[in-house]
Structure 1
Amino acid sequence: MDMREQGSNEAVKSPIMNKVGSIFVPVKDIEKSRDWYCQLLGLPNDCEIMNGHLCPLPMQGTGLILDTMPMWGGKEPGGAPPIKTPAFMLLTGDLQASYDFAVANQVNMVTDIQHDHWFVIKDPDDNLLMVCRE
Protein backbone atom coordinates (compact mmCIF):
# COMPACT_ATOMS: atom_id res chain seq x y z
CA MET A 1 0.00 0.00 0.00
CA ASP A 2 1.52 3.35 -0.96
CA MET A 3 1.19 6.50 1.13
CA ARG A 4 -1.64 7.88 -1.01
CA GLU A 5 -3.77 4.83 -0.26
CA GLN A 6 -3.48 5.18 3.51
CA GLY A 7 -6.58 7.39 3.72
CA SER A 8 -6.82 7.26 7.50
CA ASN A 9 -5.83 9.53 10.35
CA GLU A 10 -3.43 6.95 11.73
CA ALA A 11 0.21 7.97 11.87
CA VAL A 12 2.36 6.14 9.38
CA LYS A 13 5.49 4.60 10.88
CA SER A 14 8.49 6.05 9.07
CA PRO A 15 12.21 6.18 9.71
CA ILE A 16 12.19 9.71 8.25
CA MET A 17 11.93 12.30 11.00
CA ASN A 18 9.43 15.17 10.82
CA LYS A 19 12.28 17.61 11.37
CA VAL A 20 14.00 19.91 8.89
CA GLY A 21 17.79 19.86 9.27
CA SER A 22 18.91 22.55 6.82
CA ILE A 23 17.64 24.39 3.76
CA PHE A 24 19.83 24.67 0.68
CA VAL A 25 19.87 28.01 -1.13
CA PRO A 26 21.21 27.93 -4.71
CA VAL A 27 23.85 30.60 -5.37
CA LYS A 28 26.24 31.38 -8.20
CA ASP A 29 29.12 33.10 -6.38
CA ILE A 30 29.65 31.48 -2.98
CA GLU A 31 31.86 34.24 -1.53
CA LYS A 32 29.59 37.09 -2.67
CA SER A 33 26.51 35.25 -1.39
CA ARG A 34 28.16 34.46 1.95
CA ASP A 35 28.96 38.15 2.43
CA TRP A 36 25.42 39.24 1.45
CA TYR A 37 23.67 36.75 3.75
CA CYS A 38 26.04 37.48 6.63
CA GLN A 39 25.32 41.22 6.33
CA LEU A 40 21.56 40.60 6.10
CA LEU A 41 21.60 38.32 9.16
CA GLY A 42 24.14 40.26 11.21
CA LEU A 43 26.69 37.43 11.14
CA PRO A 44 30.48 37.64 10.83
CA ASN A 45 31.37 36.92 7.20
CA ASP A 46 34.02 34.36 8.07
CA CYS A 47 31.77 31.31 7.61
CA GLU A 48 33.77 28.43 6.17
CA ILE A 49 33.29 27.49 2.53
CA MET A 50 33.43 23.72 2.26
CA ASN A 51 34.44 21.70 -0.81
CA GLY A 52 34.48 24.90 -2.85
CA HIS A 53 30.68 25.12 -3.10
CA LEU A 54 28.98 24.89 0.34
CA CYS A 55 28.69 27.54 3.03
CA PRO A 56 26.67 26.58 6.14
CA LEU A 57 25.52 29.72 7.95
CA PRO A 58 25.42 29.72 11.77
CA MET A 59 21.67 29.94 12.37
CA GLN A 60 19.39 29.47 15.36
CA GLY A 61 17.16 26.48 14.63
CA THR A 62 16.97 25.15 11.07
CA GLY A 63 20.18 25.75 9.15
CA LEU A 64 20.77 27.57 5.87
CA ILE A 65 23.40 26.24 3.51
CA LEU A 66 24.46 28.36 0.55
CA ASP A 67 25.41 26.04 -2.30
CA THR A 68 26.54 26.56 -5.89
CA MET A 69 24.91 23.16 -6.47
CA PRO A 70 27.33 21.59 -8.94
CA MET A 71 25.13 18.46 -9.20
CA TRP A 72 21.90 20.40 -9.79
CA GLY A 73 22.73 22.85 -12.57
CA GLY A 74 25.51 24.80 -10.89
CA LYS A 75 27.96 23.82 -13.63
CA GLU A 76 25.64 25.16 -16.35
CA PRO A 77 26.26 28.68 -17.71
CA GLY A 78 23.31 30.19 -15.79
CA GLY A 79 23.94 28.17 -12.63
CA ALA A 80 21.31 26.34 -10.61
CA PRO A 81 17.81 27.83 -10.92
CA PRO A 82 16.82 30.30 -8.17
CA ILE A 83 13.97 29.80 -5.71
CA LYS A 84 11.09 31.70 -7.36
CA THR A 85 8.57 31.17 -4.55
CA PRO A 86 9.63 31.86 -0.95
CA ALA A 87 10.41 28.38 0.40
CA PHE A 88 11.14 29.51 3.96
CA MET A 89 10.85 32.57 6.14
CA LEU A 90 13.36 34.47 8.18
CA LEU A 91 11.86 35.64 11.47
CA THR A 92 11.97 39.07 13.04
CA GLY A 93 10.78 40.58 16.29
CA ASP A 94 10.53 44.03 14.68
CA LEU A 95 9.05 43.93 11.18
CA GLN A 96 9.35 47.65 10.45
CA ALA A 97 12.98 47.81 11.62
CA SER A 98 13.78 44.77 9.46
CA TYR A 99 12.12 46.36 6.44
CA ASP A 100 13.96 49.64 7.04
CA PHE A 101 17.27 47.75 7.47
CA ALA A 102 16.75 45.94 4.16
CA VAL A 103 15.93 49.18 2.34
CA ALA A 104 18.90 51.01 3.91
CA ASN A 105 21.19 48.17 2.81
CA GLN A 106 19.87 48.35 -0.76
CA VAL A 107 18.33 44.88 -0.66
CA ASN A 108 16.14 44.20 -3.70
CA MET A 109 12.61 44.60 -2.28
CA VAL A 110 9.90 42.48 -3.90
CA THR A 111 6.99 43.60 -1.73
CA ASP A 112 6.22 46.21 0.87
CA ILE A 113 5.10 45.00 4.30
CA GLN A 114 1.99 42.90 3.75
CA HIS A 115 -0.85 42.54 6.27
CA ASP A 116 1.46 43.99 8.94
CA HIS A 117 3.07 40.51 9.01
CA TRP A 118 5.64 39.91 6.24
CA PHE A 119 7.57 41.17 3.22
CA VAL A 120 9.61 39.52 0.46
CA ILE A 121 13.12 40.33 -0.75
CA LYS A 122 15.45 38.99 -3.44
CA ASP A 123 19.00 37.88 -2.82
CA PRO A 124 21.74 38.58 -5.41
CA ASP A 125 20.87 35.29 -7.17
CA ASP A 126 17.15 36.15 -7.52
CA ASN A 127 16.06 33.74 -4.76
CA LEU A 128 12.90 35.01 -3.07
CA LEU A 129 13.07 35.19 0.72
CA MET A 130 10.25 36.05 3.11
CA VAL A 131 10.85 38.03 6.29
CA CYS A 132 8.00 37.42 8.73
CA ARG A 133 6.97 38.75 12.13
CA GLU A 134 7.67 36.15 14.80
Structure 2
Amino acid sequence: MNNSNQTPIKNTMGGVFIHVSDLKKSVEWYSNILGIEANLDKVKSPVYNIPVTGSTGLTLDDHAFDPTFIHRPSPNPIFNFLVDNIDAAYDFIKSKDIEIVREIERVGENFAWFNFKDPDGNVIMACTG
Protein backbone atom coordinates (compact mmCIF):
# COMPACT_ATOMS: atom_id res chain seq x y z
CA MET A 1 0.00 0.00 0.00
CA ASN A 2 1.46 3.37 -0.97
CA ASN A 3 1.35 6.42 1.32
CA SER A 4 -1.49 8.11 -0.62
CA ASN A 5 -3.90 5.31 0.44
CA GLN A 6 -2.95 5.19 4.13
CA THR A 7 -5.43 6.58 6.62
CA PRO A 8 -5.81 6.43 10.40
CA ILE A 9 -9.53 5.67 9.89
CA LYS A 10 -10.35 1.96 9.90
CA ASN A 11 -12.66 0.49 7.27
CA THR A 12 -14.88 -0.90 10.06
CA MET A 13 -18.21 0.27 11.48
CA GLY A 14 -17.95 0.60 15.25
CA GLY A 15 -21.54 1.42 16.10
CA VAL A 16 -24.80 3.02 15.12
CA PHE A 17 -26.17 5.76 17.41
CA ILE A 18 -29.94 6.23 17.56
CA HIS A 19 -31.08 9.50 19.09
CA VAL A 20 -34.10 9.00 21.35
CA SER A 21 -36.26 11.07 23.68
CA ASP A 22 -37.19 8.39 26.24
CA LEU A 23 -34.32 5.97 26.82
CA LYS A 24 -36.25 3.31 28.77
CA LYS A 25 -39.14 3.33 26.30
CA SER A 26 -36.71 2.99 23.39
CA VAL A 27 -34.74 0.19 25.06
CA GLU A 28 -38.01 -1.66 25.60
CA TRP A 29 -39.15 -1.04 21.99
CA TYR A 30 -35.89 -2.12 20.33
CA SER A 31 -35.55 -5.13 22.64
CA ASN A 32 -39.11 -6.13 21.83
CA ILE A 33 -38.67 -6.09 18.06
CA LEU A 34 -35.32 -7.91 18.35
CA GLY A 35 -36.72 -10.57 20.68
CA ILE A 36 -34.27 -9.93 23.51
CA GLU A 37 -34.84 -9.46 27.23
CA ALA A 38 -34.45 -5.91 28.52
CA ASN A 39 -33.67 -5.24 32.17
CA LEU A 40 -35.03 -1.70 32.40
CA ASP A 41 -33.53 -1.31 35.89
CA LYS A 42 -30.09 -1.25 34.23
CA VAL A 43 -31.01 1.53 31.79
CA LYS A 44 -29.25 4.75 32.79
CA SER A 45 -28.92 8.01 30.83
CA PRO A 46 -27.40 9.09 28.57
CA VAL A 47 -26.76 5.92 26.54
CA TYR A 48 -27.68 2.25 26.43
CA ASN A 49 -26.06 -0.38 24.24
CA ILE A 50 -28.53 -2.86 22.78
CA PRO A 51 -26.87 -6.29 22.67
CA VAL A 52 -26.62 -7.24 19.00
CA THR A 53 -24.58 -9.85 17.19
CA GLY A 54 -21.86 -8.88 14.75
CA SER A 55 -19.12 -6.29 14.87
CA THR A 56 -21.35 -3.18 14.70
CA GLY A 57 -22.96 -1.98 17.93
CA LEU A 58 -26.35 -0.35 18.46
CA THR A 59 -26.38 2.51 20.99
CA LEU A 60 -29.47 4.47 22.05
CA ASP A 61 -28.65 8.04 23.17
CA ASP A 62 -31.10 10.36 24.95
CA HIS A 63 -28.67 13.33 25.14
CA ALA A 64 -29.46 13.82 28.84
CA PHE A 65 -26.25 15.83 29.27
CA ASP A 66 -26.71 17.97 26.15
CA PRO A 67 -29.52 20.53 26.69
CA THR A 68 -28.82 22.14 23.30
CA PHE A 69 -29.48 18.94 21.35
CA ILE A 70 -32.45 19.07 18.97
CA HIS A 71 -33.66 15.73 17.64
CA ARG A 72 -34.37 15.82 13.90
CA PRO A 73 -35.16 12.34 12.61
CA SER A 74 -34.24 11.64 9.01
CA PRO A 75 -37.07 10.71 6.62
CA ASN A 76 -34.64 8.16 5.17
CA PRO A 77 -33.47 4.93 6.81
CA ILE A 78 -30.55 5.43 9.18
CA PHE A 79 -29.64 1.71 9.11
CA ASN A 80 -31.19 -1.67 8.36
CA PHE A 81 -31.94 -4.85 10.27
CA LEU A 82 -31.31 -8.01 8.26
CA VAL A 83 -34.20 -10.46 7.86
CA ASP A 84 -34.49 -13.86 6.21
CA ASN A 85 -38.19 -13.59 5.34
CA ILE A 86 -39.40 -10.13 4.36
CA ASP A 87 -43.07 -11.07 4.54
CA ALA A 88 -42.77 -12.52 8.04
CA ALA A 89 -40.82 -9.43 9.18
CA TYR A 90 -43.44 -7.12 7.67
CA ASP A 91 -46.29 -9.01 9.35
CA PHE A 92 -44.41 -8.94 12.67
CA ILE A 93 -43.86 -5.16 12.54
CA LYS A 94 -47.50 -4.60 11.51
CA SER A 95 -48.69 -6.80 14.41
CA LYS A 96 -46.84 -4.48 16.82
CA ASP A 97 -48.77 -1.45 15.45
CA ILE A 98 -45.51 0.09 14.28
CA GLU A 99 -45.85 2.68 11.53
CA ILE A 100 -44.66 1.41 8.17
CA VAL A 101 -43.49 4.29 5.98
CA ARG A 102 -42.51 2.33 2.87
CA GLU A 103 -44.22 -0.84 1.77
CA ILE A 104 -42.27 -3.94 0.73
CA GLU A 105 -40.24 -3.40 -2.41
CA ARG A 106 -38.80 -6.39 -4.24
CA VAL A 107 -35.92 -6.51 -6.69
CA GLY A 108 -35.55 -9.88 -8.34
CA GLU A 109 -36.37 -13.04 -6.42
CA ASN A 110 -34.11 -12.65 -3.40
CA PHE A 111 -33.87 -8.98 -2.46
CA ALA A 112 -36.59 -6.99 -0.68
CA TRP A 113 -37.03 -4.27 1.96
CA PHE A 114 -39.51 -2.05 3.76
CA ASN A 115 -39.16 0.92 6.11
CA PHE A 116 -40.74 1.62 9.50
CA LYS A 117 -40.44 4.18 12.31
CA ASP A 118 -39.25 3.83 15.86
CA PRO A 119 -41.02 5.77 18.67
CA ASP A 120 -38.95 8.90 17.93
CA GLY A 121 -39.62 8.92 14.18
CA ASN A 122 -36.26 7.43 13.21
CA VAL A 123 -36.74 5.49 9.97
CA ILE A 124 -35.34 1.96 9.96
CA MET A 125 -35.19 -0.52 7.10
CA ALA A 126 -35.80 -4.26 7.25
CA CYS A 127 -33.90 -5.84 4.39
CA THR A 128 -33.13 -9.30 3.09
CA GLY A 129 -29.52 -8.49 2.26
| TM category, shorter | 0.7 to 0.9
Give 1:70 shift: 4.2
Higher strand share: 2
Partners of 1:68 and 1:79 within 8 A in 2: no
Pair 1:37 & 2:37 matched: no
Aligned to 1:113: 104
Please state how far the C-alpha of 1:82 moved relative to its aligned partner. 1.8
State how far apart, in whole Å, the 2-side matches of 1:49 and 1:16 are: 31
Separation of aligned partners in 2, 1:11 and 1:90? 35
What stretches of structure 1 move > 3 A for 4+ residues in a row? none
2:122 aligns with: 127
Query: Which of 4, 8, 30 is equivalent to 1:15?
Result: 8
Q: Aligned partners of 1:23, 1:96: CA distance in 2, in Å?
A: 25
Calculate the TM-score normalised by the size of structure 1: 0.81
Instruction: Report the Cα distance in structure 2 between the residues aligned to 1:11 and 1:128, rounded to whole angstroms.
Output: 37
1:81: Cα distance to partner? 1.9
Q: Which residue of 2 aligns with 1:75?
A: 67
Q: Does 1:49 align with 2:40?
A: no
**Partner residue of 2:82 out of 63, 69, 91:** 91
* Corresponding letter in the other structure for 1:56: N
CA RMSD of aligned residues (A): 2.2
